[in-house]
C-alpha cells in the first residue's frame, strides 16, 4: 500500500516545516518523510513531484508559498495553466489553477506526479496499481491517474514527459508490502521506491 513520499534533504527539519505548511497538512493520510542528504539537489528535474491545488485565489496561494520559502523556477514549461515553484532545497512542484483537471479540492496535496515514458506506461500502471493498492481512475494520452478511492483528494499521476535518469531520485514513493523486507527497490521505469518496515 502506498503510504508516503520520501524526500532527501540537507535540512530535514526545515523541509518538514515547509511541506507541512505548504500542504496545510492535507495529505489524505500520506506521510511526507525527510531523510538526511549529503549533497544538494542538482539542476536536473526530479522524476517525481507534487502538485498542489491553488484554489480560486491561486495567485494568493502562490504568494503564500513564496513567503514560506518557495521560489519560482523555469523547467521549460512554457505558457501553462499552472505555476512551477521549487521548495527551499530546489525540488520542483506545481500550483494548479482553477479548471485544471487535476484539481479536486480548494487546496492541499492533490497529485503525486511520476514521469513515465510511453514505453514503460503499461508496466508502470500495473506495477503501481499492485504496490499502491490504488485503482486507475483515468487513462488518457497524457497518462494514467490512480486513486485510493473514487473520492480521494490525492492521486498518483503517471505520464510523459520523462526526465532523464541522471542519478538516484531525491523524491521517492514509499509503500508497505507484506512479505517483503524493508529497503529500497526499483520500479519498471528505474525509479527508486522504499518499502517501509
With b for 16 or more beta-carbon neighbours within 10 A and e for fewer, the 7-31 pattern comes to bbbbebeebeebbeebbeeebbebe
Q: Are 160 and 116 in contact (CB under 8 A)?
A: yes
Q: Name, of 7-16, 93-102, 109-118, 159-168, the range with top average pLDDT.
A: 7-16
If pLDDT is split at 50, 70 and 90, which confidence band does 162 have? Answer: confident
Averaged pLDDT score across all residues of the chain: 90
pLDDT at position 101 over 70: no
Give the length of the chain.
197
pLDDT at 107: 47
Please tell me the total count of domains within the chain: 1
**pLDDT, tens digit, for every residue of 128-144?**
999 999 999 889 888 89
pLDDT at 106: 46
Distances 99 to 48, 147, 152 between C-alpha atoms, Å: 23, 19, 18
Give the CA angle between residues 138, 118, 87 to the nearest 5°. Answer: 75
Q: Are 195 and 185 in contact (CB under 8 A)?
A: yes
**pLDDT, tens digit, for every residue of 71-91?**
999 888 778 788 999 999 999
**What residues are paired with 157 via a beta bridge?**
113, 145
If pLDDT is split at 50, 70 and 90, which confidence band does 21 have? Answer: very high
Range of the domain at 100: 2-195
Q: Give the domain CATH number at 66.
A: 3.10.180
Amino acid at each position: 500500500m502506498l503510504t508516503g513520499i520520501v524526500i532527501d534533504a540537507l535540512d530535514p527539519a526545515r523541509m518538514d516545516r515547509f511541506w507541512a505548511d505548504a500542504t496545510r497538512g492535507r495529505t489524505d493520510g500520506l506521510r511526507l518523510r525527510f531523510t538526511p542528504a549529503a549533497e544538494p539537489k542538482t539542476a536536473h528535474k526530479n522524476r517525481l513531484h507534487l502538485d498542489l491545488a491553488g484554489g480560486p485565489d491561486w495567485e494568493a496561494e502562490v504568494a503564500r508559498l513564496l513567503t514560506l520559502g518557495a521560489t519560482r523556477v523555469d523547467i521549460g514549461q512554457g505558457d501553462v495553466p499552472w505555476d512551477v515553484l521549487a521548495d527551499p532545497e530546489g525540488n520542483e512542484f506545481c500550483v494548479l489553477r482553477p479548471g485544471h483537471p487535476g484539481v479536486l479540492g480548494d487546496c492541499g496535496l492533490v497529485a503525486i506526479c511520476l514521469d513515465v515514458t510511453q514505453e514503460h506506461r503499461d508496466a508502470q500502471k500495473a506495477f503501481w496499481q499492485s504496490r499502491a493498492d490504488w485503482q486507475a481512475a483515468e487513462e488518457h494520452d497524457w497518462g494514467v491517474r490512480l486513486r485510493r478511492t473514487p473520492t480521494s483528494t490525492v492521486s498518483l499521476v503517471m505520464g510523459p514527459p520523462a526526465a532523464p535518469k541522471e542519478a538516484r531520485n531525491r523524491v521517492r514513493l514509499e509503500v508497505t508490502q507484506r512479505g517483503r523486507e524493508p529497503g529500497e527497490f526499483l520500479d519498471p521505469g528505474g525509479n527508486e521506491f522504499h518499502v517501509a518496515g
